[in-house]
A and B are shown apart, each in its own frame.
Chain A
Amino acid sequence: MGFVLQRLGHALFVIFGAVTLVFLILYWLPGDPALLVAGDGASPQTIADIRAQLGTTRPLWEQYGVYLWHLAHGDLGISFTTNEPVLSKILAQLPPSLALTLSTSLFAICVGTALGLLAAVHEGKTLDRLIQTVTLAITAMPVFWVGMLLILLFSVRLRWLPALGNGSFKQLVLPTLALGFNAAGQLQRMVRGSVIEVLHEPFLATLRGAGLRERAILWRHVLRNALIPIVTFLGVIMGQLLAGVVVIETLFARQGLGRLIVDGLSNKDIPVLQGVVLFAALFYVLFNLLIDLSYGWIDRRTQL
């Protein structure tokens, strides 16, 4: 229990640090949001009033203090550009991003693990090399390029799947593939590596000697070991996916956190950007906390 508390404390500290770090960088973001908020014919006085209202002219420490004070009260602030509460803005955009992240993880886990196992079992043979070559190439392609090619093939040429939007399962397919190929390729390599390692372990020979069937060994002992890279991978991929969605959401005209980020950056909408970073860090840290805790559980299961 102490371990859990310690990790929880660490997680809180990291989230707090992330928010502070990003606040500092955003403070240097160039531009004057007041000019955007003010009308086209606004007088200098109006612009000055808006600046004061937004609080963007206050010194750094004061802005930071105000931000923390509001944060401590669960208030993420109001968007500069649309005057909506940041929290509701984020909550509205979260589900599509989450759906894409989850579907991509699922795809990556299924395909990546299968290919990894397949390659490991056929280590050094043609199939292994084929899988290795394909994954090597696909992970070396920018995801937006993969996305573009998918649109051309599946939307324009074959007309099987929609190219844009979100809401339905069909609309999730192409973005998932665009991100998922890359993720599956990465996982494939990790699974393959660790399975090969286990396959070479002496204890397997003992098991074989004890008369266990090859298939049983593979499923009961080898695959379990593959759990570790999968779980580790999940922690890694979450951070990556949150970033990947920025690009993929733009390409597929999907709703989501990525659009909020791009919009926030172009309008210097600091409260929105802070909010997204807070959510991303929270998500990432808590997820990795879960992963850390799950290692213990897997560890027990993999012990013989």
Chain B
Amino acid sequence: MLTRRDFATLITGAAFVAGAPTARADTTGSTTGSTLTVAFDGASVPSFVLDPHNCRFAPQARVLRSIFDNLVVLREDQSVGPWLATAWEISPDRTQYTFTLRQDVTFHDGTPLNAAAVQANFDRILNPANALQSLSQIGPYTGATVLSPFQVRLEFSAPFEPFLHNLSTTGLAIASPAAVQKYGKAFGQNPVGTGPFKFTSLTPGTQIRLAKNLAYQWAPAGAAHPGPALLDQLIFADVPEQLTRVSALQSGQVQVADLIPAQNIAAFKADPGFTFQQKEMLDTTYALMPNVAKAPWNDLQIRQALKLSLDIDLIVRVIYFGTIQRAWSPLSHQLFGSAEQALTDSWKPDPAQARAILDAKGWVPGADGIRVKNGQRLSLSFIDTQGNREQRLDVIELVRRQLNASGIDLVIDSQPPGNYLKKLADNDYDLAAGAQYAADPDVLRSFFVPDARSQMEALNENDPVLTQLLVAGAAEGDSAKRANLYVQAQKRIIDQVYLIPIYVLRYNLAAAVNVQGIALDAHGFPNYHGAALGSG
């Protein structure tokens, strides 16, 4: 398939590829200088909402990373370091955070970054009338006090330990208060931050254009360099079709494509014309979530029968050709407090045991092999909204097959997002699945603790033991103790079969070989600040 490129590279060396981007730039209509075009998987969400505080989808957060900065940066070891804030102090009762800000930072619209700007950001998120996605990220935040032009104190009604981790995510990035004021609800189409690239324009559903922020001097420690981005322009083209995304990169129309499907990875790795990189994301692992509030899945033993029917190693190996790992715990293993190590090999598939459980519970195989009890078929309605993104429906297909062998049926109920959420809210499903990007194990609270429960999450179980562990985790100041609380919580989640983890998402991208310096940060998000088009 790639013989032409191989041939050309062989004959002319890298020079051929290096010269190409400028020549190709006209296809996307760009003007001058070095322009990098990234074909990204926008997850079929054509409405770009580039408001960091109201961002629902990871693909858009990947774009936000280039436009916005945060007060703190997450390091590879999951500790946080200074960024827009040079230092911070936490009060002894752990309810007040005092941040000292850099004094040389301005937003793209010229507004200076200062204590009042930070205060305005958090108050915006707090205001329920704004109904912003990031509200769950600030926990019991009550308000801020401006201590001096560059010192601000954020106040909480109770200790909230996830805060610093959350503060490193794009969800709590700092936006220009003047622009928020100016654009109001349309801020998501006119984002203004302090990041290495400033927003220039967007074409709904297809393209987001960014340009170098010449004033940029405040990249965090660990960045390739502190100053302005090396690229003049950065274009994100939303290409949800896998075939088109891969084709556009192979044909040289774009220089970077992300979320390369498993079946194409080997080809990109083998091709000297491209580089390929990937990194495990910080998130809750992609997991099946039985509806524990609905019979018969409210019965732990039946849930165990579900789990024991599944050979997850096999599923992940078959679908992803060994390009990603199976997951054992609810949290991806690089995330602070993940129980991945403790849970590895904690159970084995045992279809015979699963059948024995179901027999004992009075579910007997019917004519078609599916078990029946009191006239009810043992069938799972699997609710889905994303289609076959990341081959997830292929995973479900194999899950169905393995469940069938135990006499359990599975029917896929594909719904648009609006109806998906409604069905979750109405408890009208048997099995859901998903992964949730997060920088702190506190994300589990939004799954399992009733009054913190997010509408995106399916679990409606009220488990006092688990609730206690997670609430304690959110308030525990000692890092080791805190991690231990979450390990216990994850063990309980697995024991109770609230989740059946399947795989850990790896974010990946392939780039033309002359593209250098794209970094995948500690969250697993691409960072284009140090990216450049090489000269050969």
Contact = CB atoms under 8 A, between A and B. Distances in A.
Indicate if A touches B (C-beta under 8 A).
Answer: yes
Interface of A: 30-33, 35-43, 45-46, 49-50, 79, 81-84, 89, 92-93, 148, 151-152, 155-157, 159, 162-168, 170-171, 250-255, 259-260, 262-263, 265-268
B243 interface: yes
A95 to B, nearest CB: 11
30 contacts: A31-B419, A32-B418, A32-B421, A36-B417, A36-B418, A37-B131, A39-B130, A39-B135, A40-B56, A40-B455, A41-B452, A42-B455, A46-B129, A79-B47, A81-B47, A82-B204, A83-B185, A84-B186, A89-B204, A151-B244, A163-B251, A165-B27, A167-B28, A168-B27, A251-B241, A251-B244, A253-B240, A253-B241, A260-B204, A263-B47
Contact of B26 (A36, A82, A168): A168
A253 B244 contact: yes
A165 B206 contact: yes
Query: What interface size band does chain B fall in?
Result: 35 or more
Given A83-B186, A155-B253, A259-B204, A39 B248 contact: no
Contact of B205 (A31, A42, A255): A255
A229 B535 CA distance: 57
A57 to B, nearest CB: 13
A268 B419 contact: yes
B253 A41 contact: no
Interface in B242-269: 243-245, 247-248, 250-254
B253 A162 contact: yes
Contacts of B388: none
Most buried by A among B26, B128, B454: B128
A31 B29 contact: no
Q: Which are the 5 A-B pairs with shortest beta-carbon distances?
A: A31-B418, A41-B136, A31-B419, A268-B418, A266-B416
Contacts of B416: 31, 265-268
B124 to A, nearest CB: 12
B244 A41 contact: no
Contacts of B66: none
Contacts of B95: none
Contacts of A263: 45-47, 205
A163 B247 contact: yes
A170 B39 CA distance: 18
B421 A31 contact: yes
Contact of B244 (A31, A32, A164): A164
B251 A159 contact: yes
B250 A156 contact: yes
A81 B204 CA distance: 12
A84 B130 CA distance: 16
Contact of B135 (A42, A93, A152): A42
B398 interface: no
Nearest to B8: A159
Given A35-B421, A35-B422, A163 B244 contact: yes
B241 A155 contact: no
Interface of B: 1, 4, 26-29, 39, 44-47, 49, 54, 56, 128-137, 185-186, 188-189, 203-207, 237-241, 243-245, 247-248, 250-254, 385, 415-422, 425, 446, 452, 454-456
Contacts of B4: 157, 159
Contacts of B26: 168
A82 B189 CA distance: 8
A267 B237 contact: no
B206 A255 contact: yes
Contact of B204 (A39, A170, A255): A255
Contacts of B422: 30-32, 35
B186 A155 contact: no
A92 B204 contact: yes
Interface centre among A32, A266, A267, by most B CB within 10 Å? A266
A266 B240 CA distance: 15
A35 B129 CA distance: 14
Contacts of B237: 164-165, 253
B27 A162 contact: yes
Contacts of A265: 416
Nearest to B5: A159
Given A38-B131, A254-B206, A267-B417, 13 more contacts: A31-B417, A31-B419, A39-B130, A41-B136, A81-B47, A82-B204, A155-B251, A156-B250, A156-B251, A263-B47, A266-B44, A266-B385, A268-B418
Nearest to B46: A263
A25 to B, nearest CB: 15
Given A46-B128, A164-B237, A164-B253, A40 B247 contact: no
Contact of A151 (B28, B132, B243, B452): B243
Contacts of A255: 203-207
